[in-house]
A and B are shown apart, each in its own frame.
Chain A
Amino acid sequence: MIEFLNSNAELIIRSVVLFLFFLTILVLLMAFFSRWKLRRRERRRTRVTEILGERIIRYASGDIPIEDVQKHLQKQQDYTVMLEIVNQLDQVLGGPEKERLQELMEVESTRVYFENRFRSGEPVFQAKACLWLAKRKSIQRDKISELMEMSSAGDPILAYAASYALIRHGSREEKRAALRNVLLNHRISNMAVNDLLHQLTLLGEEYHRFEMETLTQFVADAEIPPGRTALLIHVLNEMEYFHSFEFLKEYYHNEGGKHDSPEVVEAIIYAMARFGYEEILPDLQELYVNSKHSEVREAAAWAMGFFMKEESIPFLKWLVNDPNYNVCYKAARALAGYPDIDMSRIRHPNISDGDWNNLTGEIRMTEMKGGI
């Protein structure tokens, strides 16, 4: 063997080099080919978006018949592009334009295409079919149970899309069940959850009360993870659901105010303050200013600034020296709101004069811009 290798070493090396050379060429060619294919696909997509976009806009405006859109639906990709365009327009349009877009979803070829995708078993395709179902005027009841199953799928895209369709077409209980499935799916982002909650409010004024009741139910649900609970409290606060105050107050005293998760404590502090619950002040001053979690101290500083009580001033001065910049900023911001406090006379032993000037300058700028 060694003798063979010695006598043929040159040939072997040449063969290996040649093999590697051809392999490199092949890989390069394949890379160029796939890139070319991708670019071609992207170029076609841009072109189709341009043409279909123009057609759909004219059709939605009532200027051309539905057939003029249909004849541009030639390849599979075209249906996906159409759905994306309709989805964007559907978010901003109401009235006859919206109704025309819904009619576009009922065209026979569109139905066949998306029905096949719904049955494909491929999560990404099924998700697109769910979004199509969501855009339809109504769907058959037998679809609801399938959507419910999909809303608890592990795949976050499919779970989101199925829940989206259920929010549009399900009964109140089905909407609630779909939202719960989404909240329990840790692979779905908070932004996507927020979007689904927003879709709920788009259904009409009467759904605001339903949303509030659903959110409070979920806040009390021990199986919902703390990060989601914090999000739900923030939504109740941001949406100014004042009717949830009694519930949140109870929750604050029984559980939320001493929750293990700083996210939940932070959220409930903001909500209690925004709802004007001054009884939280002793906790802010005695408990939360000393929390080991900076987000809780930050919320405490903000809330004390919100109530602007004289007795909070020493605690805010204390928080001005917090090692965390955000806490320090919120405390300084809160102090700046008191009419009788001269910021230049606030002691700040842990902050240099230069940094203090920058911070107070930043606060003045924010105030001038009307920020919070």
Chain B
Amino acid sequence: MAMNKKHILVVEDEQMTARLVVYRLKALGHNVVHKDNGVEGLDYILKERPEVLVLDVMLPGMSGFEILENLRDSEEIDRSSMKVLMLTTKSRTEDISRGFDLGAVEYIPKPFKMDEFLLRLNRVMNS
């Protein structure tokens, strides 16, 4: 799977899930940073402007949706330069549509197959 090297932020509170995702993305050569709560995640986004966000919905401190709302309302951030993939256990249609309304490009419900995750992420990066 050919991918350009990207600056990716993974915001996920489940330690092992995060480690697995980070491991696989680093193996593909990406520059990956992990934050385990929404507040630190938003802080990092505002300071470092990653190109791709892999966001869990349920997060301590601030949910994935709240992060996207903050980004939408922020004047400092150019949202079009940042691609978002939502990662969550929730697969209810209203959550999916809320994520898309807030700017997510892809949505992956847990449990997921790693190949499918990478495929969708590739789609996000190329969107």
Residue numbers in A under 8 Å from B113 (CB-CB):
93-97
Interchain CB contact under 8 A, A60 and B111: no
Complex: A206 Cα to B86 Cα, angstroms: 26
Interchain CB contact under 8 A, A61 and B69: no
Among residues of B, the one whose C-beta sits closest to the C-beta of A370 is B98
Residue numbers in A under 8 Å from B115 (CB-CB):
95
Interchain CB contact under 8 A, A94 and B23: no
Does A58 sit within 8 A of B, measured CB to CB?
yes
Residue numbers in B under 8 Å from A188 (CB-CB):
none
Q: Which of B93-119 contact A (CB under 8 A)?
A: 98, 110-116
Interface string of B36-61 (1 = CB under 8 A from A): 00000000000000000000000000
Residue numbers in B under 8 Å from A85 (CB-CB):
16
Residue numbers in B under 8 Å from A60 (CB-CB):
20
How many interface residues does A have (CB within 8 Å)? 21
Give me 18 A-to-B residue pairs in the complex whose CB atoms sit less than 8 angstroms apart, sorted by A's number.
A53-B15, A53-B16, A54-B23, A57-B19, A57-B23, A58-B23, A61-B20, A89-B16, A92-B14, A92-B110, A92-B112, A93-B20, A93-B112, A93-B113, A94-B111, A94-B112, A94-B113, A370-B98
Among residues of A, the one whose C-beta sits closest to the C-beta of B110 is A92
Interchain CB contact under 8 A, B112 and A57: no
Complex: A239 Cα to B91 Cα, angstroms: 11
Q: For the A-B complex with A54-B23, A369-B69 known, give 18 more contacts whose Cβ atoms are closer than 8 Å.
A: A53-B19, A57-B23, A58-B23, A61-B20, A61-B114, A63-B27, A89-B16, A91-B110, A91-B111, A92-B17, A92-B110, A92-B111, A93-B111, A95-B115, A96-B113, A97-B114, A98-B111, A370-B98
Interchain CB contact under 8 A, A88 and B17: yes
- Would you call the interface of chain B mostly helix, strand, loop, or mixed? helix
Residue numbers in B under 8 Å from A63 (CB-CB):
27
Residue numbers in B under 8 Å from A98 (CB-CB):
111
Does B24 sit within 8 A of A, measured CB to CB?
yes
B16, B23, B112, B115 pick with most chain A CB within 10 angstroms: B16
- Would you call the interface of chain A mostly helix, strand, loop, or mixed? helix
Residue numbers in A under 8 Å from B24 (CB-CB):
61
How many interface residues does B have (CB within 8 Å)? 19
Complex: A202 Cα to B20 Cα, angstroms: 21
Instruction: Give the contacting residue for A57; candidates B14, B20, B69, B116; CB below 8 A.
Output: B20
Among residues of B, the one whose C-beta sits closest to the C-beta of A239 is B92
Complex: A88 Cα to B113 Cα, angstroms: 15
Complex: A85 Cα to B110 Cα, angstroms: 16
Among residues of A, the one whose C-beta sits closest to the C-beta of B112 is A94
The 3 closest A-B pairs by CB, nearest first: A95-B113, A88-B16, A92-B110
Residue numbers in B under 8 Å from A53 (CB-CB):
15-16, 19
Interchain CB contact under 8 A, B23 and A93: no
Among residues of B, the one whose C-beta sits closest to the C-beta of A63 is B27
- Assuming the A-B contacts A61-B23, A61-B24, are A88 and B15 also in contact, with contact meaning beta carbons closer than 8 angstroms in the complex? yes
Complex: A57 Cα to B15 Cα, angstroms: 12
Interface string of B4-44 (1 = CB under 8 A from A): 00000000001111011001100100000000000000000
Residue numbers in B under 8 Å from A91 (CB-CB):
14, 110-111
Q: Which of A75-101 contact B (CB under 8 A)?
A: 85, 88-89, 91-98
Residue numbers in B under 8 Å from A95 (CB-CB):
113-116
Q: Which of A89-142 contact B (CB under 8 A)?
A: 89, 91-98
Interchain CB contact under 8 A, B98 and A202: no
Complex: A193 Cα to B86 Cα, angstroms: 27
